[in-house]
Amino acid sequence: MEQVNASEFKARCLRLLERVRQTGEPIEILKNGEPLAIVSPPPPRRRKRVLGAMRNTLKGPVVDLIEPAESGWEALKKTRR
């Protein structure tokens, strides 16, 4: 693991952070020769599944799509029960 003094890290912060992101190697930051912090890359992002993303999100009565539709009044009576 690379070690960098805090003053050097402050001067080259963005460059060092970019190196950590690209290489995946953490950097230890020292202050007066003592470890102060460790900069490491974030864990890899998990991609969301596209298929099935809307599963279990529908609410309301279950309707049979094959049967003919009921009139508007009949449908309202069933949903209010």
Residue 71: predicted pLDDT: 61
In a domain, 25, yes or no: yes
Q: Number of structural domains, the chain?
A: 1
In a domain, 26, yes or no: yes
In a domain, 7, yes or no: yes
Q: Give me the domain span that covers residue 33.
A: 2-39
Residue 38: predicted pLDDT: 95
In a domain, 81, yes or no: no
Q: Running DSSP on this structure, what letter comes out for residue 33?
A: T
In a domain, 78, yes or no: no
Amino acid at residue number 55: R
pTM (2 d.p.): 0.53
Question: CATH no. for residue 18?
Answer: 3.40.1620
In a domain, 70, yes or no: no
Q: 22 with 47: CB under 8 angstroms?
A: no
In a domain, 71, yes or no: no
pLDDT tens across the length of the chain (81 residues): 899 999 999 999 999 999 999 999 999 999 999 999 999 998 888 777 777 777 777 777 766 666 666 566 666 666 655
